[in-house]
Amino acid sequence: MKLRVCLILSLILIVLFTSVAMADAPYGSYTYDYWGDPVPAPAPYVPTRLLDGDALGIGPLTGASDLFISDDNKIYIADTGNNRIVVLNSSWKVERIIDSFVKNGQQDTFNSPQGVFVTEEDALYIADTGNARIIELTSKGEFVREIGPPKADIIPADFEYKPTALVVDRAKRLYVIAQGVNQGIMEFDSEGTFRTYMGAPRVSANLFQYFVRLFYTDEQLSRTIDFVPTEYNNINMDKDGFIYATTSSISVYDIQGAIAARATDDRVAPVRKLNATGTDILRRRGYFPPVGDITFYSRGYFEGGQSMFYDVCLDDYGIYSVLDNRRGRIFTYDGDSNILFIFGGKGNRLGQFNNPVALSKLGENFIVLDRSISGHGQITVFEPTDYGRLVIKAVSSHNEGNYQEATAAWQEVLKYNANSELAYIGMGKSYLDQDEFYTAMEYFKLGNKRDYYSKAFKLYRKEVIADYFGLIVGCIVLLSVALYIRSKIKSRREVDL
Amino acid sequence: MEVLRGLRYVFYLIFHPFNGFWDLKHEKKGNLGSAFVIVGLLGVTFILRRQATGFIFNTVNLLELNIFVEIMSVILPFALWCVANWSLTTLLDGEGSIKDIIITSAYALAPLVIINLPLILVSNVITLDEGAFYYFFISLSVVWAGALMLVGTSVVHQYSMTKTLFCTVAIVIGMGLIIFIGLLFFSLIQQVWSFIYTVYKEISLRL
């Protein structure tokens, strides 16, 4: 008897513990619904691996600040504190360490390089921040050229050039983010000469600020902070050559205003997608602008304040993800800026960060570079769950025009997550295509999609009117006949009187 | 019966406000009963507007609908308006009694009920493209009621239009003052209560 109880108990325990081990994401994943409330969602990605410099056998990655993954899946880390670039292959083995190069016959080194970029032709560009220059090397680490500080009339003589991030397009133009620059992104032509600033963030000032300034004396005016545009802090380029840039210096009040107004314009934009002329072309069709967290304490409380975007990473079909340094979260949006996933967090467990600075994608895995408490770089690898893969599949099938596949995927998504408004909308769209207007209406209602609901409703109404046309006309005829007879009787009575 | 007669008069009054309000007061065409029915209907209209407006035009989270709050959002401003109106016009040679003021103000709100109640039904059968009509009629009802309120105040107190406008601004400020004093009162009561409670607790713990 006793033995049997023991056996059953241990069986129960085994079952319990194995099931606990399955749910291993140390964060609560969620999304925001139409009302701006956070609603729980299954984990789209789970952390599977943590690496640091010691595990790689190259000593701590002191203050590492950038991580780039090239087209051939090599991982480049800007190991800022050690003045070197570390190159890993896709199976996380050290392939090369670049800490010096031969320039004009002389040995030269980096000084706290903060940014690294690799072109399709394997040309390696390094933002050598401390030396105020950009270095181009071949894939073998041989020096090609040096691009120094920009020279132009619009740049003041005492300007201190500190490039921190860069991208290079197919025409070999360089787009550089430098510290303390708020005029936009610095554009250099293929020769390395400074051309212009592009994509300057818009200045935002509200009516109240203008009003107050009317009454200020000159001295007060000189003491107030100028309305300067915000400065970018990171940059990335997608396959079509569009530039994504992030900024973390937008005030919490501007962010809250944009959320409250459900802004769809680019006035308050912590992440931008710029075309070659520097115009923001990011589609903002989500229920809320892509600003990270929607509900947060503006100040005072633990981790209060808006999300602080430090990096952006790009996927096919316009899907993009941003890294929130303040709360250590990753926000994934689709090409219309609908929120797909939110995951990650601050802490010391696997999958949590202390000071995440760079986000990249290796295949379907997310790679996050965290500077951690000690300041030593740590790399976390996130792998997608079935749920995460399904959502990506649904979005990409829809973008490919493969609507049947998309519908099937959304249907699966709903099995995992009954809170997914996007899935309801996706289903609704497919029912709309199949001329099942009433079902489509119900799905759009669940997805809170009023414009599409209106479209479906219009067609449904037409259908109903067509079905009951005879009845409606009959009622109108009967009613008018009744009214006519009534008025006749009334007038006869009046005559009688 | 009296109430029904008063309610039927509404349809005359909203189209002929000057004569209507004059007869309302002097010919006793309206009564308190029908006035309260109108305010009650307005409360019902507000609740229904939240609850039953078609999905396309209903941008309120139904999970957060609170009927009590909806009713109070009608009754409280109405009561405040009447009290502030009476308090001020008594000092400014107004001729209306508090009864007149309540009846006049309630009748002036009638367009809100008459237009919005059918509009709730309509909102269920129109699409976003036809929404312009919907929003036009909502604005119309508000403007109409506001105009009636002004005319009503001027007729019931025998005021000129300039004096009415001045009075209306003063009444709105007065409403703010009443709210302020009310909050002050409750906050002080709270303090007093917590003081008494503390003394009671102190004594009961020591004995």
In single-letter form, the type of residue at position A188 comes to F
Task: Answer whether B127 sits within 8 Å of A457, measured CB to CB.
Answer: yes
The reported pLDDT for the residue numbered A302 is 60
**Euclidean distance between CA atoms B170 and B152, whole angstroms:** 16
The reported pLDDT for the residue numbered A17 is 54
Percent of chain A with pLDDT over 90: 60
Give A133's DSSP letter.
E
Tell me the pLDDT band of A396, cut-offs 50, 70 and 90.
very high
**Euclidean distance between CA atoms A310 and A354, whole angstroms:** 13
Q: Is the pLDDT of residue A492 over 50?
A: yes
Q: Give chain B positions within 8 Å (CB) of A458.
A: 127, 129
Non-local (6+) Cβ contacts of A488 within 8 A are none
**Euclidean distance between CA atoms A139 and A80, whole angstroms:** 19
Specify the CATH architecture of the domain A386-497.
Alpha Horseshoe (1.25)
The count of C-alpha atoms lying within 13 angstroms of the C-alpha of A189, restricted to the half-sphere facing its C-beta, is 6
Q: Taking Cα atoms as reference points, which of A234, A120, A126, A122 lies closest to residue A169?
A: A120
Its CATH class, for the domain covering A28-384, is mainly beta
- The domain segmentation of chain A, as residue ranges, is 28-384, 386-497
* Segments in chain B forming alpha helices (H): 2-13, 17-26, 32-52, 67-91, 98-108, 110-123, 131-157, 161-206
Average pLDDT, chain A: 88
Average pLDDT over residues A453-474: 93
- Please tell me which residue of chain A has the smallest CA distance to B62: A35
**Residues with pLDDT less than 50, chain B:** none
Average pLDDT over residues A347-360: 92
Task: Answer whether A445 sits within 8 Å of B56, measured CB to CB.
Answer: no
Q: Are β-strands A365-370 and A356-362 bridged in parallel, bridged antiparallel, or unpaired?
A: antiparallel
Average pLDDT over residues A397-412: 91
Q: Give chain A positions within 8 Å (CB) of B55.
A: 445, 450, 453
Q: Give the full edge-to-edge strand order of the sheet including A66-69.
A: A66-69, A75-79, A84-88, A94-98
Element (H, E) at A356: strand A356-362
The reported pLDDT for the residue numbered A183 is 84
Q: Taking Cα atoms as reference points, which of A72, A68, A101, A104 lies closest to residue A86?
A: A68
Instruction: Specify whether the CB–CB gap between A235 and A243 falls below 8 A.
Output: yes
Average pLDDT over residues A417-427: 93
Tell me the pLDDT band of A23, cut-offs 50, 70 and 90.
very low
**Euclidean distance between CA atoms A21 and A273, whole angstroms:** 40
| CA dihedral (A443, A446, A447, A453) positive or negative | positive
**At A439, is the secondary structure helix, strand, or coil?**
helix
Percent of chain A with pLDDT over 70: 91
Q: Taking Cα atoms as reference points, which of A302, A281, A303 lies closest to residue A292?
A: A303
Tokens 């139409």 appear where?
A: A34
Q: Mutate which of B53, B56, B59, B126 to test chain A, going by most A C-beta atoms within 10 A?
A: B56
Q: Is the pLDDT of residue A5 over 90?
A: no
What pLDDT digit, counting tens, does each position of A187-221 carry?
A: 999 998 998 898 887 666 667 777 877 888 878 77
Looking only at Cα atoms, what is the longest distance across chain B?
74
**At B206, is the secondary structure helix, strand, or coil?**
helix
The string of DSSP letters for A268-325 reads S-SEEEE-TTS-B-----SSS-S-S-SS--SSSSTT-S---EEEEEE-GGG-EEEEET
Measured CB to CB, residues of chain B less than 8 Å from chain A are: 55-56, 59, 61, 125, 127-129
The reported pLDDT for the residue numbered A28 is 86
What pLDDT digit, counting tens, does each position of B100-128 carry?
A: 999 999 999 999 999 999 999 999 999 99
Residues linked to residue A32 through DSSP beta bridges, in sequence order: A38
Nearest Cβ partner for B128 among A35, A445, A451: A451
The reported pLDDT for the residue numbered B3 is 86
Q: Give chain B positions within 8 Å (CB) of A35.
A: 61
Average pLDDT over residues A221-243: 80
The reported pLDDT for the residue numbered A490 is 85
The reported pLDDT for the residue numbered A344 is 93
Instruction: Specify whether the CB–CB gap between A274 and A184 falls below 8 A.
Output: no
| CA dihedral (B142, B147, B150, B152) positive or negative | negative
The reported pLDDT for the residue numbered A12 is 64
Q: Is the pLDDT of residue A2 over 80?
A: no
* Segments in A87-206 forming alpha helices (H): none
Structure tokens at A210: 């203008």
Q: Taking Cα atoms as reference points, which of B69, B140, B79, B142 lies closest to residue B105?
A: B79
The reported pLDDT for the residue numbered A21 is 39
Question: Nearest 5 degrees, angle CA B95-CA B101-CA B105?
Answer: 135
* Segments in A372-416 forming alpha helices (H): 386-400, 403-416
**Euclidean distance between CA atoms A270 and A308, whole angstroms:** 8
The reported pLDDT for the residue numbered A20 is 42
Q: Are β-strands A356-362 and A234-237 bridged in parallel, bridged antiparallel, or unpaired?
A: unpaired
What is the nearest CA distance from B125 to chain A, expressed in angstroms? 8
Tell me the pLDDT band of A25, cut-offs 50, 70 and 90.
confident
What pLDDT digit, counting tens, does each position of A53-96 carry?
A: 889 999 899 889 999 999 899 999 999 999 999 999 988 999 99
Task: Answer whether A458 sits within 8 Å of B127, measured CB to CB.
Answer: yes
**At A348, is the secondary structure helix, strand, or coil?**
coil
The reported pLDDT for the residue numbered A483 is 93
Instruction: Specify whether the CB–CB gap between A61 and A375 falls below 8 A.
Output: no
